[in-house]
Amino acid sequence: MIFPELKNINTKCVNLNAEAIDWIKGKIFPSTDHPLLDPAICQEMVDDVHKKYDVVFSYGGWMEDRSFLWHGSYLDKDRAYIHLGVDLNVPPGTKVATDFSAEVVRIDDDYPEQGGWGPRVILRNMESDIYVVYAHLDREIGCKVGDFLKKNTIFASVGKAPYNGNWFPHLHVQTISTEYFNELNQNNSWANLDGYGSPNKIEQNKKRFPDPMKYISLI
């Protein structure tokens, strides 16, 4: 399982965009900016969502429209609010393990980019024809490029702001098809890879970035 420390812990799939719309009603914030862009305020919202459903952590968001949650961010430019991965909303420091035997193919960190990936590890799933991205990690990574990891190997932990891309603490998991991974590699176009996409490209992005929940386990 992806979080060995959270075995048999209550969790729930949530739509964070819908929860954010409900949570923010009637609240007043001193800043004129969208308050949920502040990692501390966003974490307060997530904590309240967990209390609402009586769970320790939550997950979800693949192909979710997050036009309310992240309006005012860099996503406004192209209105690219469709989430291409899943978010696992767990406390910072939570250890992350592989759900499959894997090869470490890429490790990078775009800090101090705001709204970026933060520390990121990309694994080649050696049991399926897919690559898996783990982002917003802590800066202390427990593996290196070229390593082969056995299933259930702990290789990283969840990071926190500002070093994780300046988001509330969570793990972003996103798959990449082998075809698109090879395209990114051959063209050295990793700077073009994002966790969000345009609503006009949903079908294309479903092929490029299949549902990550097929490749990870929460129990």
> What number is the average pLDDT over the span 145-157?
98
Sequence length of the chain is 219
| Beta strand spans in the chain (E) | 11-13, 57-60, 82-83, 86-89, 95-97, 102-109, 119-125, 130-135, 148-149, 154-157, 171-177, 196-197
3-state DSSP percent of the chain in helix, strand and coil, to 5: 25, 25, 50
Per-domain boundaries in the chain = 1-219
For the chain, how long is the longest CA-to-CA vector? 51
- CATH 3.90.1720.10 holds for 1-219: no
Grade residue 30 by pLDDT with cuts at 50, 70 and 90.
confident
pTM value is 0.96
* pLDDT the model gives residue 219: 82
- pLDDT higher than threshold 80 for residue 31: no
Q: Among all chains, which residue has been given the structure tokens 């978010």?
A: 87
What percent of the chain lies above the pLDDT cut of 90?
94
Cα gap 206→76, rounded to integer Å: 21
Cα gap 159→181, rounded to integer Å: 25
Strand, helix or coil for residue 19: helix
Q: In the structure encoding, which two tokens stand for residue 30, read together?
A: 């001193």
> What number is the average pLDDT over the span 24-34?
87
* pLDDT the model gives residue 28: 87
Nearest to 44 by CA among 27, 61, 30: 27
Q: Among all chains, which residue has been given the structure tokens 């769970």?
A: 55
What's the pLDDT tens digit per position in 163-218?
Answer: 999 999 999 999 999 999 999 999 999 999 999 999 999 999 999 999 999 999 99
* pLDDT the model gives residue 32: 74
Nearest to 176 by CA among 196, 193, 200: 193
Grade residue 126 by pLDDT with cuts at 50, 70 and 90.
very high
